[in-house]
Amino acid sequence: MPQYKGSREVISIHVGQAGVQIGNACWELFCLEHGIQPDGYHVEDDSYDEETETINTFFAETAGGKHVPRCLFVDLEPTVVDEVRTGTYRSLFHPEQLLSGKEDAANCYARGRYTIGREMIDVVMDRVKRLAENCNGLQGFVIFHSFGGGTGSGFLSLLMERLSTEYGKKPKLEFAIYPAPQVSTSMVEPYNSILMTHTTLEHSDCTFMVDNEAIYDICRRNLDLARPTYTNLNRLVAQIISSITASLRFEGALNVDLTEFQTNLVPYPRIHFPLVTYAPLVSAERASHEQNTVADMTHACFEPGYQMVKCDPRRGKYMAVCLLYRGDVVPKDINSAIASVKTKRTVQFVEWCPTGFKVGINYQPPTVVPGGDLGKQTRSVCMISNTTAIAEAWARLDHKFDLMYAKRAFVHWYVGEGMEEGEFSEAREDMAALEKDYEEIGEDELPDDIDDQSYRGRSAASRF
């Protein structure tokens, strides 16, 4: 691999079918935002300004001027990665960064972690090492996967453990597709999700969750799509990821780096599952007719219809809110919008966190994919909030787990792959502890008898 120029670099790792397909949508959007063609070279255009872009955070530049994404695509079976190898952006990625096995994890956490995954982990870690060696100052990792798949849960948990061992304190942020309340892609999603959450709870620093059902509803309701496809869903997820990572890739008045997300959003190591909201969500046909003021966008972020996980934040309490604005936005408008939000009775903060709001401003306006669903806008906002309401999502999943595990349904598939049955009850206990953590945090005053260690993790201590 050629040696590249670099700055404060971030390595992206896309794991399993969901991770790879979201990766496709993300790199398509990143290329459009940075003026990079599908072959990796810059569009001949005077509008590109190297002073305002820290493009080397996500792309490595070869001596010939080609930009290569600092990323890795990993799946235990070849079909989805082959789509990248033959797709529009096939020339963009380094062939060694597209890794696929021959046999999939068959939706089984144990298969992804203990059998099929074990055969591939060393190759993956070797590629990560090469990417890290090409960085001047590695900032951390951004990982994309689903909770419910075999590879996205099992192999990912193995990978997170290895990354923690070899890269210690480097922050690891996850963008994860979370099981939806009504729609399911497999029967064993609750098992995979809870086993994975238990094993990665101490290795992940911040997990941004997105559920397909919430995004389906947004596509149908706001973007006028009668039957949304995964491409529609993934492009919307890509916009959110782009907003969250924009401050790493472009200069702005108030920038946010990887460690800042943790510092501002994670009050205790285990409570690291922020809720993501994005506005405006307007179809291309309606975009030119909507006013879209800073106040409108900011208020929309506190409405359940704009959030990426099905839960009701009006019934929970906020611990921290991070508002990431893009485009034509000035601090004066933001301050008055936030002041107006604070007067709403539905927006409640925990008593021990009075300030609550962190703001990021990035002057790069949101970019839309030509022919895509979202309308072109001069400004947008992505809100990341740590709220006790997300515990609703855990409670739902735990209930589904309990129904199946009471009858030991499907457990033999996991035990047959070398997993011990005790891991199920251990994982479930950890989830019960997580639910209790959220419940205690929502109480008006922290009980005196709770020592700090109880939040550091009842089952495993976590440090950053």
pLDDT digits (tens, 9 = 90+) for 236-252: 999 999 999 988 888 76
Angle (nearest 5°) at CA 46 between 45 and 52: 110
Are the CB atoms for 394 and 292 separated by under 8 Å?
A: no
Query: Does residue 260 have an active-site annotation?
Result: yes
If one compares 44 and 231, the residue with the highest pLDDT of the two is 231
Q: Check residue 33 and give its pLDDT.
A: 92
Q: Which two tokens stand for residue 218?
A: 């947004």
Q: What is the mean pLDDT of residues 254-272?
A: 84
Sign (positive/negative) of CA torsion 422, 424, 425, 429? positive
Q: Which residue has the tokens 């300030």?
A: 355
Domain boundaries, the chain: 10-273, 276-389, 393-456
Residue 6 has pLDDT above 50, yes or no: no
CA 290 to mean position of chain CA atoms: 29
Are the CB atoms for 213 and 182 separated by under 8 Å?
A: yes
Q: Which of 61, 213, 260, 435 is catalytic?
A: 260
CA-to-CA dists, residue 298 to 25, 278, 328, 387, angstroms:
26, 9, 14, 17
Q: How confident is the model at residue 121 (pLDDT cuts 50, 70, 90)?
A: very high
Q: Which two tokens stand for residue 104?
A: 């999939």
Q: How confident is the model at residue 146 (pLDDT cuts 50, 70, 90)?
A: very high
For 351-375, how does the pLDDT look when each residue is reduced to its tens digit (9 = 90+)? Answer: 888 777 889 898 888 999 888 888 8
For 62-92, how does the pLDDT look when each residue is reduced to its tens digit (9 = 90+)? Answer: 999 999 999 999 999 999 999 999 999 999 9
Q: Which CATH number fits domain 10-273: 3.20.20.70, 3.40.50.1440, 3.40.50.970, 3.20.20.120?
A: 3.40.50.1440
Least confident of 46-60, 279-293, 362-376: 46-60
Q: Which residue has the tokens 């969250």?
A: 244
| Architecture of the domain whose range is 276-389 | 2-Layer Sandwich (3.30)
For 385-439, how does the pLDDT look when each residue is reduced to its tens digit (9 = 90+)? Answer: 999 999 999 999 999 999 999 999 999 999 999 999 999 999 999 999 999 999 9
Residue 447 has pLDDT above 80, yes or no: no
Dihedral angle over CA of 36, 37, 42, 47, nearest 10: -70
For 305-353, how does the pLDDT look when each residue is reduced to its tens digit (9 = 90+)? Answer: 899 998 888 889 999 999 999 999 999 999 999 999 988 888 888 888 8
71 burial level (CB within 10 Å; 0-12, 13-18, 19+): buried
Q: Check residue 356 and give its pLDDT.
A: 74
Q: How confident is the model at residue 458 (pLDDT cuts 50, 70, 90)?
A: very low
Residue 122 has pLDDT above 80, yes or no: yes
Task: State the average pLDDT for the chain.
Answer: 88
Residue 255 has pLDDT above 70, yes or no: no
Helices and strands (H, E) in the chain, number of each type? 17, 12
Q: Check residue 47 and give its pLDDT.
A: 56
Residue 41 has pLDDT above 90, yes or no: yes
For residue 141, report the phi and psi dihedrals to the nearest 5 degrees. Answer: -120, 145
Q: How confident is the model at residue 39 (pLDDT cuts 50, 70, 90)?
A: very high
Q: What is the mean pLDDT of residues 109-125?
A: 95
Angle (nearest 5°) at CA 417 between 185 and 209: 35
Q: Side chain identity at 410, as an amino acid letter?
A: F
- CATH of segment(s) 393-456: 1.10.287.600
Residue 48 has pLDDT above 60, yes or no: no
> In 57-149, which residue ranges form alpha helices assigned H by DSSP?
79-86, 109-110, 116-133
* Beta-carbon contacts of residue 66 (< 8 Å; ≥ 6 apart): 39, 40, 41
Closest by CA position to 427, among listed 83, 153, 119, 106 = 153
3-state secondary structure of 220: helix
Q: How far apart are CA 310 and CA 296, in angstroms?
A: 22
Q: How far apart are CA 179 and CA 394, in angstroms?
A: 10
Strand stretches in 120-238, DSSP E: 140-146, 172-178, 206-211
Residue 111 has pLDDT above 50, yes or no: yes
Q: What is the pTM of this model?
A: 0.91
Residue 449 has pLDDT above 70, yes or no: no
Q: How far apart are CA 73 and CA 460, in angstroms?
A: 30
Q: Tell me the DSSP string of 251-279.
A: --SB---HHHHHHHH-SSTT----EEEEE
Q: How confident is the model at residue 133 (pLDDT cuts 50, 70, 90)?
A: very high
